[in-house]
Amino acid sequence: MLTLKVITENPDEVIRRLAKKHFDAKEIIGKIIELDKTRRNSQTALDANLAELNRISKSIGQLMKEGKKEEAEAARAKVAEMKEGNKDLQEAMDNAQEEITNLLYTVPNMPHESVPEGNGADDNVVEKMGGMETELPKDALPHWELAKKYDLIDFDLGVKITGAGFPVYKGQGARLQRALINFFLDEARNSGYMEIMPPTVVNAASGYGTGQLPDKEGQMYHCGLDDLYLIPTAEVPVTNIYRDVILDENSLPIKNCAYTQCFRREAGSYGKDVRGLNRLHEFSKIEIVRIDTPEHSYESLKEMLAHVEGLVQKLELPYRILRLCGGDMSFTSALCFDFEVYSEAQKRWLEVSSVSNFESYQANRLKCRYRDANKKTQLCHTLNGSALALPRIVAALLENNQTPEGIRIPKALIPYTGFDMIK
């Protein structure tokens, strides 16, 4: 969440920048500032009362020694009265702080100045395009038909076992999944990321820490009996490793990666955009996470973008990189780039990765800090990216590599699959 200091010192700037996300912050920022005045006034009065209370308490013993019993009793009565008043001041201060925190949770992160104006996906800016052009046979099939033809993925069986959006991978389809997972993890390790194997369920504190709660509560699977949530991405458990932690500046940037299953309740509407692997309730993903200093975090973002781009290049897929506009950004990100691969059979772009810098927004929620060379404690910057999400990568690989002989496996994946063609 945004820091109270940023809001109280630069309210107009906060309102202006949040408008780019189409969030009207004027009223809520005004409420936060008023509540902060109440909190600070209560704190000032309480501090003054405590000092006076201490002075009077010390005088009681002296008055008793001097035989001034009535004055001592009056002082005791004054102390009791002040203690009751202090309870009211403390309650007012605590209530104001609680209201401030609750309001801060509802305020999105401010977008970086480089974020373009726009209302939605159509206004995102194409930063770069690359990859190999694909020529398919005239009778090219979409991946859901290829999956059935080669017995790779059984969508109906997934419906039987669980429901729509939970496919069953079989034979070479399962081996392709495992190959991609290992390939992505090896590439991350070669780039200096330490692998983490985190839980795939988290508590509410972890959800609040990275901003999934309260913003995306309806999109997460909730285990009501234990009040736990199935993770929508490994970003949540991995970033929460550093909740309530003070790091040494020399240890930054921290670079972690993790493979997990991911779970999302909201899987979209019906139609071609969500058919097959295009949008699922459960899917596999490798996530990269960085914890960094404010001075270096945008250099880290560049390195993460280069890492993801290298993956799609090695998979020989046509791709483009989008700089998201204000209207299409997530609640928590300050700057976000999406990677999309082109599906030749579907004639459409498929999002396979989002790479984001959250600046200090998550770190403030997490209380993730570092101690600099001057021993001063500061908030870290957090970053994360998909590297990569498997379903649409698999969709594009199947569709773009289909031939009359079968489905060709990209050269970089053959050591992992153990076969060069799906037949």
The answer to whether 354 is annotated as binding is yes
The answer to whether 394 is annotated as binding is no
Edge to edge, the sheet with strand 201-203 lists 201-203, 228-230, 222-223
Q: 92-110 as b/e, with b when 16 or more CB fall inside 10 Å?
A: bbeebbebbeebbeebbbb
- 284 three-class SS: strand
The answer to whether 266 is annotated as binding is yes
Check: CB of residue 2 under 8 Å from CB of residue 104: yes
| Two structure tokens written together for 202 | 């988290």
CA-to-CA separations, 381 to 151, 172, 303, in angstroms, rounded: 45, 41, 15
Cβ-proximal residues to 104 (8 Å cutoff; 6+ apart), any chain: 1, 2, 4, 7, 32
Task: Report cis status (omega within 30 of 0) of the bond before 388.
Answer: yes
Alpha helices in 106-218 (DSSP H): 143-149, 155-161, 171-190, 204-210
Neighbours of 341 (CB within 10 A): 24
The answer to whether 352 is annotated as binding is yes
| Two structure tokens written together for 215 | 């913003």
Distance, in Å, from the CA atom of 348 to the CA atom of 368, rounded to the nearest integer, reads 40
If you count DSSP H runs as helices and E runs as strands, how many of each does the chain have, helices first? Answer: 13, 19
The answer to whether 114 is annotated as binding is no
The answer to whether 70 is annotated as binding is no
Residue type, 289: V
- Tell me, rounded to whole angstroms, the distance of Cα 197 from its chain centroid: 18
The answer to whether 124 is annotated as binding is no
What does DSSP assign to residue 241?
Answer: G
The answer to whether 233 is annotated as binding is yes
Q: What is the 3-state secondary structure (H, E, C) of 109-140?
A: CCCCCCCCCCCCHHHCEEEEEECCCCCCCCCC
Q: Which residues make up each annotated binding site?
A: 233, 264-266, 287, 351-354, 384
Q: Which residues make up each annotated binding site for ATP?
A: 264-266, 351-354
Q: Which residues make up each annotated binding site for L-serine?
A: 233, 264, 287, 384
